[in-house]
Amino acid sequence: MKHTVDFKECLKDSPKFRASLEDAENDIEALEIRLDRLVKQCTTMIDAGKAFSNASSFFVLGVRDLANYFNDDSLVSTSLSRFAHAMSEMLKYFNILMDQANRSVCKNLNNFIRIDIKKVKETKKLFEKISDDMDAAFIRNSQAAKSKPQECEEAHNTLTAMRSCFAHTSLDYVFQVNVLNSKKRFDILDTMLSFMHAQSTFFHQGHDLFQDLETTYMKEIAGQVEELSSKAKVERKEMEERHTLVQQKDLSTSSLLQGEGSLLQTEGYLFKRNSNAFKNYVRRWFSIQDSQLVYRKRTKDTLTIMEDDLRLCTIRQPVEFDRRFCFEVLSPTRSHILQADSDEECQLWVNALNFSISHAYKETMHSQEKGESKRSSSSSSKDSTNAGPPPAEPKQNKARVRMEQLLVIPGNSHCCDCGAPEPRWASINLGITLCIECSGIHRGFGVHMSKVRSITLDTWEPEHLKVMLELGNNVINRCYEADVDETIAVRAQPDSNRSVRENWIRAKYVQKAFIKPLPGVNKSNMARKWSVRKKTRRSPARSLIKSSYTESSLKDSLGSKGGDSLSHSDPDLTSGLMEGGDIGARGAVLSVSNPKYRDSSEVESDSTTSGDIVFGDENPPPFVAGLNKSLDLESSDESSHDVDDDSTGPSGAGSSTDGDRFTTSWEDMSRLDPNLLLYKASGARNLPVMLEALSNKADPNWVNLEEDGKTPIMRAVQTGSLAACEFLLLNNAKLDRKDKHGRTPLHHATILGHTGQVCQFLKRRADQNAKDNQGKTPLMIAVENANADIVTLLRLAKLNDEMKESDGYLGNPGDETFQDVFRDFTNMASNNPEKLKRKQ
């Protein structure tokens, strides 16, 4: 109801005005009560909505957890995940609705109560006060005596002033009442209209969401549910005949696995006599696996190995023994008494164990014959070194072997950033191991900064392992923690919180705040020329054969004092397993992270080269005794010689000394630049120096205009180094760049016949259809060179691409033949590179 007060009656202050004013005030008070109640009810609704939202969130989490339970059932897992996603979307819409209810209803109506109605109440108090004052003025004026004209005049003047004040105040009060009565209609309607729009939007969004879900998915799932229900009925009917199994086979009979007519594995329950004083018998589940006799308890999954190698055992049945169905397993150190449930099972186990022993001997003889054929085709030096066949080893878990190889590298047994022990994660483009907390922060920076892999859970390419073995935490920290300033970021510790770790890792790798810049040309710097130490390829077999020769020859060239110093200070000379053991006998010995200038008096015949810098002399390879000897840690199929055409003496182009075989060409200090240093280090296969250059903001795709516009990866291709190429690719080197002849890295690898690198680039989806300036593709070049391996790889990769295109975007992700062949070539390039070499 609309209650308006007439302004004319207001000036009269008539009983009609007072009555209408009272009605309006009562109406405002009733409106305030109802609005306040509505606001409270809306708040209660919003709180209930929040509780509903929280409960629904837990329900959605429960559905997702249930989907994880069905992770081996793609239909159920995918359906539940999609339903959970739809419900979470509906919860988002519901939360938006509650937020709009709070803003449109609670906030607007609260403002109406606290501002508009409150203003009317305040004006009412003023009106009542002025009204009382005017009544007092009337009384005073009426009581003034005629005999006191001055008092009468004062009373009259006061009354006149109060009348005027009352008139203005009453008009203002009536104005506020009438404005409120007018405003309440559209304010309340506008508020509720806004809320109803929010409701409409909520239901429209839900309708659209479920309409799409129903038309594209729910109907399909409904059909599949009916099909599953039918299958379940059929399976239930089949299982109703389960009791017939008792008649077919006794439950205590051991289960046998047959393969190609030969017994490969036997398993079942046997009684085992304990070796304690009581000699009691316990029942265990026994099986023969990989020439081992193992057993476990019924309630435990952990296997216990009874005999590690059955070839050393003898099986016999004791004649004089109290128990029936027993047989004995005799090893050189122990005797085991086992008892079957029947004579038939006893004979079965005896035959199975004897067959496993003979089968293991045959496998050993076969491996020995293969080893002898390999040794007959190898060089005479390998024959003299590996005279006897390697002993047969049981299968090892690849992840465990990889972890052992990585963690024995100096520094890798602790997290590179916080020092936590036993790290289980790695950054393959940085070559470091990390704990799980630091790996999460690395992953947060993006793959362009750090490519994180699990050492034990993820699948590793052999090239990634090569890169990791060339670097290690100690090498990386010598570069990235060369000049630590903890005022920039506090060093992370194993027990540091996430913010401390993140600040430290960000300063270390993103801001590169602790890296020492490359030395420049100044008065205090005596160096005039610089070079990079070459990491010459040496496989494990070669290194073992030539280690004594290398050490003795270096001692002859340097003298006994110099030879002793090298053999003790440089692990390359004693191991040779990573890059080779050569070092420039007359080269300079200055590294960036620990500068040392060579004194010219220490060199007899090279006084012109004092103060020259050799990058990489301080970075020995992280060799340890636990590395896999079968892994060629450096190259795939580079030329057999170790000297590049990039070797000139420090005194000028063309001059060469004995030490120049071990360094790249000498450059003037004015040309020392991170980009050129990366290019030179790529040609030297020196990953630590490549890392030093990249940490100083070298561009991995820099173009060397002085050498036909080649990039660092093209220079690495010339050396045949898989590790150098993979390190550049992991650090954002591109395979589509061309030199001035229009050749890509794939062209260069094909021309040089480096099969391992061709395989490496094709796995990275290098463009095999790119043509050089002569219009030749890599396939054309491989055909001209008659390189069958590379032709096979290129044609197979092309066929695989065509199959993907024909199958469409959601078709075959890749042919299995293609994947198997490339996997074989990758392993061959990493483990047996000599097989890929072709005579040029």
pLDDT of residue 111: 85
pLDDT of residue 508: 92
Tell me the average pLDDT across 129-152.
78
Structure tokens at 420: 């936590």
| 3-state SS, residue 663 | strand
Which of 788-815 are b and which e, b meaning 16 or more Cβ less than 10 Å from the residue's Cβ?
ebbbebbebbeebbeebeeeeeeeeeee
Asked whether the predicted pLDDT for residue 238 surpasses 60, the reply is yes
Give the DSSP H or E segment for 337: strand 335-339
- Least confident segment among 139-153, 192-206, 498-512: 139-153
pLDDT of residue 361: 63
DSSP annotation of 422 reads: S
Name the residue with higher pLDDT: 129 or 770.
770
Q: Which of 383-397, 434-448, 798-812: highest mean pLDDT?
A: 434-448
Alpha helices in 540-660 (DSSP H): 540-569, 571-574
- Least confident segment among 31-40, 151-160, 616-625, 630-639: 630-639
Tell me the average pLDDT across 251-275.
61
Name the residue with higher pLDDT: 264 or 669.
669
Name the residue with higher pLDDT: 445 or 567.
445
DSSP annotation of 214 reads: I
Asked whether the predicted pLDDT for residue 601 surpasses 50, the reply is no
How far is the first Cα of the chain from the last one, in angstroms, to the nearest whole number?
105
pLDDT of residue 6: 65
pLDDT of residue 433: 93
Query: pLDDT tens, 687-723?
Result: 899 998 998 889 999 999 888 899 999 999 988 888 8
pLDDT of residue 153: 81
- Specify whether the CB–CB gap between 509 and 430 falls below 8 A: yes
Tell me the average pLDDT across 48-75.
91
Query: pLDDT tens, 458-485?
Result: 778 888 888 998 889 999 999 999 888 8
pLDDT of residue 493: 92
Quote the percentage of the chain above a pLDDT of 70. Answer: 72
Tell me the average pLDDT across 242-246.
62
Tell me the average pLDDT across 675-684.
89
Name the residue with higher pLDDT: 810 or 217.
217
Structure tokens at 814: 């890749």
Rounded CA-CA distance 676/693 in Å is: 9
DSSP state string for 41-110: HHHHHHHHHHHHHHHHHHHHHHHHHHHHHTTT-HHHHHHHHHHHHHHHHHHHHHHHHHHHHIIIIIIHHH
| 3-state SS, residue 795 | helix
Name the residue with higher pLDDT: 287 or 809.
287
DSSP state string for 447-486: TTT--EEETTTS---HHHHHHHHHS-HHHHHHHHTTT--T
- Least confident segment among 22-26, 129-133, 197-201, 546-550: 546-550
Which amino acid type is present at position 371? G
- Specify whether the CB–CB gap between 722 and 729 falls below 8 A: no
pLDDT of residue 251: 45
Which of 333-350 are b and which e, b meaning 16 or more Cβ less than 10 Å from the residue's Cβ?
eeebbbbbbeeebbebbb
pLDDT of residue 536: 65
Rounded CA-CA distance 748/714 in Å is: 7
Asked whether the predicted pLDDT for residue 203 surpasses 70, the reply is yes
Tell me the average pLDDT across 1-5.
58
pLDDT of residue 630: 43
Q: Which of 91-105, 115-129, 374-388: highest mean pLDDT?
A: 91-105
Beta-bridged to residue 143, according to DSSP, are none
Asked whether the predicted pLDDT for residue 296 surpasses 70, the reply is yes
What Rg value do the Cα atoms of the chain yield, rounded?
44
Query: pLDDT tens, 607-659?
Result: 334 467 888 765 444 444 344 444 444 444 444 444 344 444 443 333 344 44
pLDDT of residue 243: 63
Q: What is the dihedral of CA 229, 235, 238, 239, to 10 degrees?
A: -110
Question: Could you tell me the pLDDT band of residue 491, with boundaries at 50, 70 and 90?
Answer: very high
Which of 478-508 are b and which e, b meaning 16 or more Cβ less than 10 Å from the residue's Cβ?
bbbebeeeeeebebbeeebeeebbbbbbbbb
Question: Could you tell me the pLDDT band of residue 579, with boundaries at 50, 70 and 90?
Answer: very low
* 0.85 exceeded by pTM: no
Asked whether the predicted pLDDT for residue 539 surpasses 60, the reply is no
Count CA atoms closer than 13 A to 340's CA, side-chain side.
19
pLDDT of residue 61: 94
Rounded CA-CA distance 582/578 in Å is: 11
Quote the percentage of the chain above a pLDDT of 90. Answer: 15
What backbone phi and psi angles, to 5 degrees, belong to 716? -70, -30
Question: Could you tell me the pLDDT band of residue 812, with boundaries at 50, 70 and 90?
Answer: very low
Rounded CA-CA distance 277/63 in Å is: 54
Average pLDDT, the chain: 75
pLDDT of residue 521: 56
Rounded CA-CA distance 360/349 in Å is: 16
pLDDT of residue 369: 52
Rounded CA-CA distance 500/503 in Å is: 5
Query: pLDDT tens, 90-102?
Result: 999 999 999 988 8
CB neighbours of 673 closer than 8 A, spacing ≥ 6? Answer: 518
